[in-house]
Amino acid sequence: MAGRLDGKVAIISGGVSGMGLAATELFVAEGARVVVADIQDEKGRALEQRFAGKVRFSLCDVREEADFVAAVVQAVDGFGGLDVMYHNAGAVGDYGGVDDISVEGWDDTQHLLLRSTMLALKVAVAPMKTRGKGSIILTSSAAPFSLGGSGPYAYSVAKAGVVAAGRYAALALGQYRIRVNTIVPGAVPTSIWSGHVGGDADMGDRLALDRERFSRMQPLPQVGEARNIADAALFLASEASDFVTGVALPVDGGLCLYRAPEATANGQRGAVQDAAAKL
């Protein structure tokens, strides 16, 4: 079934690579016109040419309000409005622990992941009110929710905050028929695993070699793909989810239930069963 986003205008932050690129491609295939807001200028311009007339690129550091506002202006002036805000951009941030993280590292990570979420919510409201409805999709992570933990300290705290922000916004904006939902991705081998803010590192052979390890990180013994996340975003952007708001949707193969401690393929099943028995 095609055309699930016919007539809709979307902004996708971080839309030139990884999960964001998969969503951009899928949204366009389903009939949407998309403003891609990203810091990767060269890739963004190439994507704009690839989908001429359907994609506009907006150079955007998601930590900066003016950059987000500029992306909204692109959507409204270029495509006529805004129906979907999918805030996907992010990176791991600072790796410091509870006892040694720097204040600067903490603040930088919160700005990148949580301040940007606040901005994405803020700038989307006015044009969606004009439309009479809208869908805002945020991106959290399985990191703060999986048993055993699967992310650095500042990152995990920020991503838990994203879920809280989404729930609060869903309550506040429901009266305007603006839905707010959060995707909780699991271990999907994209360039964010490099730790680079731009998500532009060349993972190459390393990710290919790591795919077998990725398949053992959660109860479902398979590798999560960027398309799995894009499919969830499509559902939340489309009219199929018209009565869904305030949801944190795991797309993680069960990682929020349990993370295997570098288990071997033979040992994982027993470990998962043991963990489930303790719940």
What is the C-alpha separation between 109 and 160, in angstroms, rounded? 13
Q: pLDDT tens across 154-199, in order?
A: 999 999 999 999 999 999 999 999 999 999 998 887 766 554 334 4
Nearest to 190 by CA among 22, 63, 27: 22
| pLDDT greater than 60 at residue 278 | no
Average pLDDT, integer, range 146-161: 84
| pLDDT greater than 50 at residue 204 | no
Domain presence at residue 226:
yes
Domain presence at residue 4:
no
What is the C-alpha separation between 114 and 29, in angstroms, rounded? 30
Q: Supply the pTM of this predicted model.
A: 0.88
The pLDDT score that the predictor gives to residue 69 is 98
Q: In this structure, what are the phi and psi dihedrals at residue 133, rounded to the nearest 5 degrees? A: -175, 175
- What lies within 8 Å, CB to CB, of 104 at 6+ separation is none
Q: pLDDT tens across 63-118, in order?
A: 999 999 999 999 999 999 999 999 999 988 999 999 999 999 999 999 999 999 99
Average pLDDT, integer, range 128-154: 88
What is the C-alpha separation between 99 and 245, in angstroms, rounded? 37
| pLDDT greater than 50 at residue 36 | yes
Domain boundaries, position 112: 9-278
The pLDDT score that the predictor gives to residue 101 is 96
The pLDDT score that the predictor gives to residue 193 is 55
Domain presence at residue 3:
no
| pLDDT greater than 60 at residue 3 | yes
Nearest to 178 by CA among 236, 223, 229, 254: 236
Domain presence at residue 269:
yes
Active site residues: 155
Whether the Cβ atoms of residue 203 and residue 194 lie closer than 8 Å to each other: yes
Nearest to 43 by CA among 20, 12, 16, 18: 16
Count of domains forming the chain: 1
Average per-residue pLDDT for the chain: 86
| pLDDT greater than 70 at residue 263 | no
Q: What percent of the chain has pLDDT over 70?
A: 84
Whether the Cβ atoms of residue 161 and residue 153 lie closer than 8 Å to each other: no
Q: pLDDT tens across 180-190, in order?
A: 999 999 888 77
Which of left, alpha, beta for 3 (phi over 0: left; psi -120 to 50: alpha)?
left
Residue-by-residue DSSP string for 122-179: HHHHHHHHHHT-EEEEEE--STTTSTT--S-HHHHHHHHHHHHHHHHHHHHHGGGTEE
The pLDDT score that the predictor gives to residue 42 is 95
Longest dimension (CA), the chain: 56
Residue-by-residue DSSP string for 68-129: HHHHHHIIIIIIS--SEEEE----------TTT--HHHHHHHHIIIIIHHHHHHHHHHHHHH
Task: Quickly tell me which residue has 């990725």 as its tokens.
Answer: 214
- Check residues 140 and 209 and name the one with the higher pLDDT: 140
Q: pLDDT tens across 210-244, in order?
A: 677 777 778 888 888 899 999 999 999 999 999 99
Residue-by-residue DSSP string for 63-81: T-HHHHHHHHHIIIIIIS-
Domain presence at residue 194:
yes
Least confident of 30-34, 228-232, 253-257: 253-257
Domain presence at residue 2:
no
Average pLDDT, integer, range 27-51: 97
Domain presence at residue 182:
yes
CATH of the domain at 92: 3.40.50.720
Domain presence at residue 1:
no
Whether the Cβ atoms of residue 111 and residue 197 lie closer than 8 Å to each other: no
